[in-house]
């Protein structure tokens, strides 16, 4: 089975103060949640708190939310991790990623646990009960690229630029992006993109399948709204079961996938039959 909403015991959504400290804005209207990465003075660079708060948003979304749209404030999606996170002094109010290793206050196991916590901010975007859309203007660098890769759809403005910068900084992409990148472009192209840390523009992204759609900058909002409207025409139960099936497909043999299709369809038919009986 693929990821389902986590039972974490956390029920209250993040308040304005938590969102603001994380550099995020959140609006929820009916079935649609919109998250905006909002640290324009740092080109929407993200911190550990951005990702723990993203996880908090995922844990506490109202049940009737079906679509999540993630965008950046202004003309950039995100400049990736706040580079201050790699300085010993870190970012104010945040744990430095490297500080504990340099001063000996943290060991490798601590760091592994911390990165696992940060990855939770990205993992929930795969949940089968949601369709997640990255609306990308301008740069999506490093963690920004990985956040876009965590979404089901990437709608790009024609000025969008992806860049997996981590290897150029002596690091690896560790925020859940390597698997979707390889799934989409294949291991050879993914190797070239990561190990040159080069910029991949919107047109190339479309050719590689990284972009679901590329539109003019002024058309981005409208194109995302159209995608949201189209996605909402499908029954939520059918959408959830279908995304669940699609997510399993790659790891299943044909036989296993056929069995999964049958099991899912029997559940759908049972649900539809019950609804018909209730109406009769
Ligand atoms: N972290 C912290 N501050 C950042 C930042 C970042 N990632 N990116 C930009 N800023 C800050 C700049 O320091 C600058 O601050 P001041 O005004 O105080 O000088 C301000 O934002 C504006 O930046 P620029 O003048 O550089 O803006 P630009 O429009 O000319 O360029 C940019 C935009 C191409 C995104 C460029 O800022 C840039 O290359 N940023 C760094 C990108 C980067 O290396 N990110 C890390 C990738 S690795 C990762 O994300 C994951 C990981 O785990 C390692």
Domain 236-279 architecture? Orthogonal Bundle (1.10)
What's the 89 CA to ligand 1 centre distance in angstroms?
18
Query: Mutate which of 37, 42, 79 to test ligand 1's pocket (most atoms within 8 Å of Cβ)?
Result: 79
Say if the ipTM goes beyond 0.90: yes
What's the 41 CA to ligand 1 centre distance in angstroms?
10
Query: Mutate which of 43, 165, 170 to test ligand 1's pocket (most atoms within 8 Å of Cβ)?
Result: 43
The domain segmentation of the chain, as residue ranges, is 16-232, 236-279
Tell me, what's the pLDDT at 97? 84
80 Cβ inside 6 Å of ligand 1: yes
Q: Pick the residue whose CA is nearest to atom 11 on ligand 1.
A: 42
One digit per residue, the tens of pLDDT, for the chain of length 280 reads 444 455 667 889 999 999 999 999 999 999 999 999 999 999 999 999 999 999 999 999 999 999 999 999 999 999 999 999 998 888 988 888 888 888 888 889 999 999 999 999 999 999 999 999 999 999 999 999 999 999 999 999 999 999 999 999 999 999 999 999 999 999 999 999 999 999 999 999 999 999 999 999 999 999 999 999 999 999 999 999 999 999 999 999 999 999 999 999 999 999 999 999 999 8
CATH of segment(s) 16-232: 3.90.226.10
What's the 10 CA to ligand 1 centre distance in angstroms?
33
Tell me, what's the pLDDT at 1? 40
Q: Pick the residue whose CA is nearest to atom 19 on ligand 1.
A: 42
Tell me, what's the pLDDT at 98? 84
pTM, to two decimals: 0.96
Tokens matching residue 176: 């859940």
């Amino acid at each position: 089975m693929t990821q389902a909403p986590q039972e974490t015991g956390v029920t209250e959504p993040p308040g304005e103060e938590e969102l603001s400290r994380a550099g995020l804005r959140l609006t929820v209207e009916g079935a649609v949640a919109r998250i905006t990465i909002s640290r324009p003075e740092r080109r929407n660079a993200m911190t550990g708190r951005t990702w723990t708060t993203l996880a908090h948003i995922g844990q506490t979304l109202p049940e009737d939310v079906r679509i999540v749209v993630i965008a950046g404030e202004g003309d950039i999606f995100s400049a990736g991790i706040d580079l201050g996170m790699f300085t010993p002094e870190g970012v104010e109010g945040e744990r430095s990623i490297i500080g504990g290793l340099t001063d000996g206050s943290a060991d490798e196991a601590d760091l592994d646990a911390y990165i696992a916590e940060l990855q939770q901010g990205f993992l929930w975007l795969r949940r089968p009960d949601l369709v997640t859309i990255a609306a990308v203007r301008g740069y999506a660098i490093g963690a920004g690229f990985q956040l876009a890769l965590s979404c089901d759809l990437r709608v790009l403005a024609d000025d969008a630029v992806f860049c997996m910068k981590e290897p150029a900084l002596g690091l690896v992409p560790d925020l859940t992006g390597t698997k979707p990148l390889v799934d989409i472009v294949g291991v050879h192209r993914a190797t070239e993109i990561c190990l040159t840390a080069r910029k991949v523009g919107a047109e190339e992204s479309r050719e590689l399948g990284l972009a679901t759609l590329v539109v003019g900058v002024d058309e981005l909002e409208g194109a995302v709204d159209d995608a949201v409207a189209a996605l909402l025409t499908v029954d939520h139960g059918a959408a959830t079961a279908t995304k669940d099936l699609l997510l399993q497909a790659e790891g299943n043999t044909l036989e296993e996938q056929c069995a999964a299709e049958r099991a899912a369809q029997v559940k759908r038919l049972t649900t539809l039959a019950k609804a018909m009986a209730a109406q009769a």
